[in-house]
Structures are given as structure tokens and as C-alpha cells.
Structure 1
């Protein structure tokens, strides 16, 4: 798991949602999370199924935010759970070993350790910066990524107001994926926004290679 992890906004316009998501996938987004906090069950099923079909075409995983039952209904690639969205161990048991189970751990390394023990596939840390979508009552310090990288054997996702510029120090500290909503879906050019994040990861990979070569 590495790269840009796009998270969908609360859009009722399914055609626009699919169009923007396809532009992001075509530009190189690594993963998609379907997140719609205000939709009803029927709308979630319809949008989730359409996104799953799109992700299958691009061979990228579709993760369902919060709703294990929706993930099971659709046969999606996994689920992402927050602190109040159900037990990770239950989700892992329900989905089996081949699916992805992500966990929001906010700014707490202890929660990340618990998630790893419960069978999480990745942990999400943050918010690191002010977000247009979610208001955080705390701020996560960038060095938490360094601590988590040393303590855990799981991929690390960073969230909260992400742009290529402010994600750079987090990727430099070891973040594997950057989760973004507004900076992609509200961009004037989705492809260009994705390219900015892709360039960030490419630059980091190049820097590591050059550093290794010098050693």
C-alpha cells in the first residue's frame, strides 16, 4: 500500500462522483474509500456498487467507510472503521484474512497498537492539519509518524487537510499513504491534483535511492 488514498465527499450526484473518481484513478490514485455520511442505505448501495465496478476496471481496491454490512453486501475490498464504528476483530472475522481492514487511530499510538493486534491491515493517523471536511478537536504532531513507523509493522495513512505541500514532511517521516478528499474532489483539475501527490511519493522514493547509493 503506497500513494494517494482518495476518500469520497458527501455527494448525492452519482454521475459527478464517478466522473471525478475515474479521473483520479486514471491519474494514478492508489486506493478509494467510499464515505458518505448522510446517505441512506439505498443510495449507499447504488453508489458503492458503481464505485466498485469502476475500481475493478482500474484494479484498485474500494474500501467502505464505517459500514461493515455494506462492505459485505457489495463484496468490496475492505472496510475502514473509526473509533465508534464497531470492533476491528469482529470486522476481521467477518471479512476473513484476504480483505482490508483499516482503523482510524487519530493521534494515539496506543490505539494503533491495539488495531494491529486486532488484525488491522493499516492504521490512519491524524488529523494533522485543519480540514474542510472534518473538524478535529486535537492536532496530531508530525513526529507521531516516526514513532508509529518504529512501533508498527503496518502501512501508515495520514489524514486531515492534506495537500502535496503539507503531506511532504509526513511522507518523509514514513507515511505510506496520504488520504485526501477536498484537495482532489474540489480541485479545478482532478488529474493535476493527483499528479501533485504522485510527484511527492516519486520524489521521496528517488531521494531514498540516492541516499542509499551514497552510503
Structure 2
């Protein structure tokens, strides 16, 4: 009983960390847009941040396309992205542990799934450590970005398959399916399989980033409510 209570408490704390990291990014990336010092790739004279013509990574540049210092936006965006990437790891560990507790799966395969998810999450953080306007960082920035999106794409496909074999929830795999569909389309743009203008790339990037983060936020909340119900049930049994 005590071990069950301790496990439930750990799950609660882990999911809270994920939710806080995501909320932190949503808030501070929005502030970074406000403080962005201006300019787009096609129009350096553009005032402020354009939701249609600027990419997320523009916020993390040390100097914006306008040629002006982008210090505030740089600090807000990159720090929140680094934390967001790290905050996905607790969710990855929790969801894989819950799956392995509900179905029979080789430990080696579950470990591989966890490693895939963690690598994808950490690469989001690495994007925040490599401002794309710096000559030494541009190749790494692109590499980390691609690994993050592709890694998370295949991680989620794997999770969908496993979740459907459990009785954990019907909502969780459905949410993942929607996000995987959106991300699949975005990857076609990202790797130039489907030609697209800069504006389409910018809009598509924001759609997938917000869809990913909101999906993790919603799923963390659903798992949190499930764990809270489990904790209450354990307390009720203990009182009896």
C-alpha cells in the first residue's frame, strides 16, 4: 500500500513538471514575440514579430533580421525552449511506465522507446542552445530541429500502437493520432517534399508546435486526474 501511494505521488510530481514546463514556454515565447526587435528573412525592415513571416527560431537569434540586438527575446525564448524540452522527459517516462505496467512488453523494447522519446525531447532543448544566426550554430540548429521533430513523430506512432493494446484510455491515443497526422504533413514541408512558401512554413511550424505542446499538456492533465483518482481509491482502502 505504501509503495502504491509513493508511486502515485511520484507520478503526480512528474506530470506537474511537464505541465509547468509547457505553460512556461507558452507564456515566455509569447513575451519573446512581443520583445522581438524586428525584421523577417524577406523583409528586414518589418516592424516587430510577424506570426506569418517569422519562424519560432527567429525569436532565439542574438541579433534579429533588422540588425538590432535581440537580447530580451533571445533570453526569453531560448530559456523557455530548453526547459520545455527537458519537461517532456517526465511525461515520456510516465507514459512508457504506465504502458509497460498494463501490457506485456520486453524491457529492452520499452527502454528503446524511452530513449527515442528522450532524445527527441533533448533535441528541442539543444535548438535553444544553438541560435541560428551564429555561424557555428546554424548546422547544429537545423540538425537538432530535424531530429526533434522526426524523433517525436516516430515516438508518438509507437505510443499509439502500444496504447491501443492497453485499457488505460481511449482519449490518449486519439489525441496522439491527431498530432501525428498534423506532424506528418509538417514533415513534408520541413524536408521540402511538398514545396511551400516561407509563410506556409512559418504557419505550419506554429501549428505543429502548439499542437504538440497542447497535446502533452492535455494528456498530462488527464493522467494527473487518473492518478488522483487512484490515490483517492488507495486512501479509501487504507481507511477501511
TM-score, length-normalised on structure 2? 0.29
The higher radius of gyration belongs to 2
Structure of higher RCO (CA pairs closer than 8 Å, 6+ residues apart): 2
Q: Specify which structure has the higher proportion of helix.
A: 2
TM-score, length-normalised on structure 1? 0.31
